[in-house]
Chains A and B, each alone.
Chain A
Amino acid sequence: MPIFFEKKQLVTPGELLAEGDYQPGENTYMEENKIYAQRIGLVDAENKRVNVVALRAFYVPKVGDIVIGTVTEVGFNGWTIDIRSPYAAILRASEVLSRPFKPQNDELSQVLNAGDLIVAKIASYDRAHDPQLTVGEPGLGKITRGQIMRVTPTKIPRVIGRKGSMISNIKQETGCQIILGVNGVILVTGKTPADEELAMMAIRKIEEESHTSGLTDRISQLLKEEKSKMEENKT
């Protein structure tokens, strides 16, 4: 039962990873008792399970995920939302109005119009049906202020960090509120545009160097340096 890789090795699609008594995990597949990689990424084995952490991927909806989307179309009884995935999401009108929806009384475009951004949760999704969204929870709904940035969806866990260490660090240093959409869209809301700019710069650095070690320390150092620079400029 040999393994053909070193821990955290960079692999390409089709590379042979393991043979025999192993289970194919994320981004891998099995054929004739051999496990191969499906995507470009870093391999790791955990209890006989071979996983590849993808460096390039797109967002696939999962029930319970918090996502940030753009309204693309106002329909008869709901909206179509672009959540940067292969499937467009649906948001029903009754979901937003929290009362029975009557087409003759309500003008949907006055509630949400094309181009509006929303924070929502995936309520249902399977292979045969497009994902449905819900906004019936605190913290969800239309976005009114802040700045939006986009990263590769696979890098969101890295922005969160181990037990949320990375993200809480950025929040603390910049005083910004940050909402991470699992689909790779990030909302940054701060007191001043400069604070938001700083938080976004840190996140962009994480995205670029996500597959390197010791990143949390480098980011907090960067944030401290930039902050002291900003202070100097003020005085």
Chain B
Amino acid sequence: MNDKPEKLIDKKGIRLDGRKADELRPVKIQVGVLPNADGSAYIEHGKNKILVGVFGPREMHPKHLSQSDRMVIRCRYHMAPFSVQERKSPAPSRREVELSKVIRESLEPSVFVDLYPRTGIDIFIEVLQADGGTRCASITAASLAIADAGIPLRDLVVACAAGKIDDTVVLDLYDAEDKLGVADVPVAYMPNLNAVTLLQMDGVLSPDEFESAVNMAVEGCKKIYIMQKEVLRNKYMVVKEEAEE
């Protein structure tokens, strides 16, 4: 398992896990899974399993952190000790602190923060199982949880990564491809407004490769967005159908 395979993608364009270059991992999403949170969502993106709970808007504690002209968004990304092969210390690591900030900033443009001044919302992201691309799956789920809490949004935020393995640009890298590949480009995107809210790159890409990676990631986002909308609709449709019977 730890030996590097000769090739991450074969001549026919099939990857180690059997996907084509522009194919997403299977995605399964649920909303409203936690009755104690104001809004919640659960996502299974390939082998990633992530649970998100949102509280608020509520009064800020401690009070001095509140802003008199806007709502404050706080975000905690946390990986469970059992989420990876080698036990991870439950204390927040440098990586988790950074991801918390990055996820918060990618969600902030979608929320109408100036509508409810002096309040705050808290987003708690728990990664139960990680397999590459957790920040993207977290953003997708967190945006749904915010919508589920009844907080007004400009648009849902979807995220998806693209990258380069061997010499091919591919969509939605999983753990092995992320570690052994050449580059990884996570993108968060608001489809209706055609706005990118997060764009990172780790690795080396030529300008042309970078452009095709971003375009590929945006296409991936659009596919996940359809699922996101579907899930939100279904939650309320189920009740409607039951009543009509």
Counting CB contacts under 8 A, is B155 at the interface? Answer: yes
Residues of A at under 8 Å CB distance from B?
10, 12-16, 27, 29, 31, 36, 38-40, 54-58, 60, 86-88, 127-128, 152, 154, 208-209, 211-212, 215, 218
**Residue from B116, B149, B152, B240 in contact with A212 in the complex, judged by beta carbons closer than 8 Å:** B240
Known contacts A86-B57, A212-B244: A13-B152 contact under CB 8 Å: yes
Q: Is the CB of B239 within 8 A of A14?
A: no
Contact A12 B156 (CB under 8 A): yes
Q: With the chains together, A36 CA to B233 CA distance in Å?
A: 16
For the complex, what is the distance from the CA of A64 to the CA of B232, rounded to whole Å?
34
Q: Give the secondary structure class of B's interface.
A: mixed
B193 close to A (CB within 8 Å)? yes
> Is A12 within 8 A of B233, CB to CB?
yes
Evaluate contact between A38 and B112: CB separation under 8 angstroms.
yes
B233 & A39 in contact (Cβ 8 Å cutoff): no
Residues of A within 8 A of B46 (CB): none
Which B residue sits closest to A38, measured CB to CB?
B152
Tell me the B residues contacting A by CB distance below 8 Å. 38-39, 56-59, 68, 110, 112, 116-119, 147-150, 152-156, 190-193, 228-229, 232-233, 236-237, 239-240, 242-244
The answer to whether A86 and B56 have CB atoms under 8 Å apart is yes
Name the B residues within 8 Å of A88 (CB-CB): 59
Chain B residue numbers with a CB within 8 Å of A212 are 239-240, 243-244
Q: A12-B233, A14-B154, A86-B119 are in contact. Are A56 and B148 (CB under 8 A)?
A: yes
A-B residue pairs in contact (CB < 8 Å), sample of 11: A13-B153, A13-B155, A14-B110, A14-B192, A14-B193, A40-B236, A60-B116, A86-B116, A87-B118, A212-B240, A218-B243
